[in-house]
Structure 1
Amino acid sequence: MSKNAKTGVFLVNLGTPDSPSTPDVRKYLREFLMDGRVIDIPYIQRWMLINFIIAPFRSPKSAKIYKELWTEEGSPLKIYGEANEKQLQELLGKEYIVKLGMRYQNPSMEKGLLELRKAGVKKIIVIPLFPQYASASTGSVYEEVSRILSTWQSIPDLKIVSNFYHKDKFINSFVENAAVLQKERKYDHVLFSYHGVPERQVLKGDDDGDCCQLGACCNKITPKNQLCYRAQCFETTRLMVDAMGLKEGEYTLSFQSRLGRSEWVKPYTDHVVKELAEKGVKNILAFSPAFVADCLETTIEVADEFKELFIEHGGEHLQLVPSLNDKASWIELLKELTLEA
């Protein structure tokens, strides 16, 4: 290997349609939902469900939502991803080559890894942009990286960052964003809403049979649950609660974005928002700490849909805390993760 060989840093996020048109949204949904780690049912059943039910009927509705989200520059998730790529490259300097890839659609993971290969990197550090590990997100990135690299004759050293849900810069960056909003208005409750996953996926990840069946064991990270998505979400919440000085009863943890009829991890955010409003809570400050960039699940689902639901049942105001997006401290965390790897 040449002494001038560099280290590649590969940032990977979930993905986004190429445009908010119905055909592009349908194409994106098919690729995303056909991933066996996302909908973990037998292939034939999954293929029929996606191609005969979800993609045909959900695509037009999703396209309308994406049109609300879209900006003149394109999809916010892609815009922030490209900004992060450039920012991290500037921060790391010439010894590194930083590339962005999307697990689904463009820029593709295959394209990004091929560019690193052509650059002759001596090592590739993959950073999935998901704070908490889940099979359907980080696990899927692991699988796709392995698939792509298995076709290479010569494979560089490889390191994949599993999670960063507990890192100080991650916690403090969100808390700093919230502090700006707290100066403008008094909030009587804080909501931490995470992307949901099916309960069966959490239970399937319990190789030793020690899972507490989604009970109180998630209240503390231990060697037995350290890879559990739900436990990592609880830990992120605990760290943010401590940093904000919140007391018991002043905050709630919940899970959003469920799909289908199966049981997902609870409590559900839409149920929690309704219950808080009916109990007399008037102003909610809402975090989405499973996302590092504002996207459909934050800007539309939390900031619009849950806000409307909250007001409909008696609440007055629900405010979304902006995600990390292109915040300087977020890029510093990416540098920290790179150097640690």
Structure 2
Amino acid sequence: MMLDSQETSELKNIPSIRKTGVLIVNLGTPDSPSVPDVRKYLREFLMDERVIDIPYLNRWLLINLIIAPFRAPKSAKVYKELWLPEGSPLKIYGYSVEEKLQKALGERFVVKLAMRYQSPSIESALTELRKECFTDIIVIPFFPQYASASTGSVYKLVMETIKDWEVLPELRFVNRFLDHPKFIEGFVNLGKKYMAQRKYDHVVFSYHGLPERQITKGDVTNEQCQFGSCCDVLNHRNQHCYRAQCFETTRLLAKGLGLKEGEYTTCFQSRLGKTPWIKPYTDEIIPQLTAKGVKSVLAFSPSFVADCLETTIEVGDEYKELFEENGGEHWQLVESLNDSDIWIETLVDLVENA
């Protein structure tokens, strides 16, 4: 049956009942820089079996009897250095992105911010989205490279939260976005801003580290990653390897910045404990660079999309101090994408293509 022009026009004016929820998720932050709040955050974060993947009892004893009691006071002092008058930078940027992304996407979408640990929780955000009766929900973990301890942990909690809902929405996840053109462009533009101001002897791309055993456990091909040249190319066999994804991110950024081989280094930070973590370690690379006569470094932290303790304090302050102690003269941190326009454009594209 053919519709006449008037009937077609009337159909176009019928409002669509299909709306989409968008859940954006970052790692998390303490509610305040006080010792009790930092201790609470550390306990929730480190008790995640995907973060510290050892037997439950061992993990409980390690976190509750050693790490949380002794590390919380030290971490609280660092968080106080990071804290802004409005609160945690991670949360400030998160709410700003939520507002800007909502405006950019329009009324067909409802955007909610959540943190994997602490507040606003994934459970509370999903409860709000559930009330909207959405047919589908898109989940975007704010981790450019996939890892079981980050993106995988978000997936797990989201699915555990909704598994008993009577009406289950169509659920779509953004697995990673390390090679998204706008994500790369955003960091390249930030880097070029500093490179236009002065010449740098070397560029460091420092990523959050992971225990080597987590990379090995994730190798479903059973080819046993050797943590070396196997990460030189990202392909269908190693595409889920976090280390390989980081090296691919570096290659894309280096190309955009016009860097040649030897002018940059990929390395990993934030290791914990005595077990081997993925290498090379950033704090060991720095003395090696100064020993070669490197006096100025431009430092990126491309595993984070918002500035936080690991970027501002660890890469921006602690590594700068280490660099200068070893004879370096100028260490410049490139800030994260935070709530920049190009980051919002990246997210809009990720939503529309999910």
More divergent stretch after superposition (50-59 vs 143-152): 143-152
Q: Is the 8 A contact 2:219 2:225 kept in 1?
A: no
Whether 1:80 aligns to 2:93 is yes
**Correspondence for 1:248:** 261
SS of the equivalent of 2:115 reads strand
Aligned to 2:110: 97
**Deviation by residue 1:197-234 (Cα, 9 ceiling, x = unmatched):** 00000000011212332121111111100111011001
User: In the alignment, is the contact (CA less than 8 A) between 1:30 and 1:55 conserved in 2?
Assistant: yes
Partner of 2:22: 9
Equivalent position of 2:248 in the other structure: 235
Partner of 2:9: none
CA distance, structure 2, for counterparts of residue 43 and residue 273 of structure 1: 36
Q: What corresponds to 1:141 in structure 2?
A: 154
| Root mean square deviation of aligned Cα | 0.9
Contact 1:210 1:224 in 2 (8 A): no
Structure 2 residue 289 is matched with structure 1 residue 276: yes
Q: Which amino acid aligns with 1:187?
A: Y
Q: Secondary structure at the match of 1:227?
A: coil
In 1, the alpha carbon distance for the partners of 2:110 and 2:18 equals 10
Question: What is the letter of the counterpart of residue 291 of structure 1?
Answer: F
> Is 1:64 the counterpart of 2:77 in the alignment?
yes
2:33 is aligned to 20
User: Structure 1 stretch 218-227 or stretch 32-41: which is displaced more?
Assistant: 218-227
Distance 1:57 1:230 in 2: 30
Q: SS at the partner of 1:44?
A: helix
Q: Distance in 2 between matches of 1:38 and 1:319?
A: 30
Mapped to 1, the partners of 2:16 and 2:205 lie a distance apart of 47
Greater gyration radius: 2
Specify which of 54, 62, 80 is matched with residue 49 of structure 1: 62
Are residues 1:176 and 2:193 paired?
no
Note the C-alpha offset of 1:336.
0.3
CA drift of 1:285 comes to: 0.2
- Asked if residue 326 in structure 1 is aligned to residue 304 in structure 2, the reply is no
How far off is 1:131 after superposition? 0.1
**Percent identical:** 64
User: Is 1:311 the equivalent of 2:324?
Assistant: yes
Q: What SS does the corresponding residue of 1:158 show, helix, strand or coil?
A: strand
How far apart are 1:3 and its partner, in Å?
Answer: 3.9
- The answer on whether the counterparts of 1:221 and 1:231 sit within 8 Å (CA) in structure 2 is yes
Structure 2 gaps of 5+ residues are 1-14
Q: TM-score, normalised by structure 1?
A: 0.99
Equivalence for 2:352: 339
CA deviations 1:237-282 (Å, max 9, x no partner) are: 0001111111111000000000011000000000001211122100
**Distance in structure 1 (CA, Å) of the matches to 2:225 and 2:27:** 29
- Offset, 1:101: 0.3
Separation in 1, partners of 2:42, 2:155: 20
Letter in 2 for 1:334: L
- Is the contact made by 1:127 and 1:161 (CA closer than 8 Å) also made in structure 2? yes
Counterpart AA for 2:178: Y
Give the alignment partner of residue 217 of structure 1, picking from 214, 230, 250.
230
Post-superposition shift, 1:119? 1.0
1:24 and 1:238 mapped to 2: Cα distance? Answer: 39
CA distance in 1, matches of 2:196, 2:256: 16
Taking the aligned partners of 2:220 and 2:18, their CA distance within structure 1 comes to: 39
How many aligned residue pairs are there?
340
Uncovered stretches (5+) of structure 1, i.e. residues with no partner:
none
Q: Which amino acid is the alignment partner of residue 168 of structure 1?
A: P
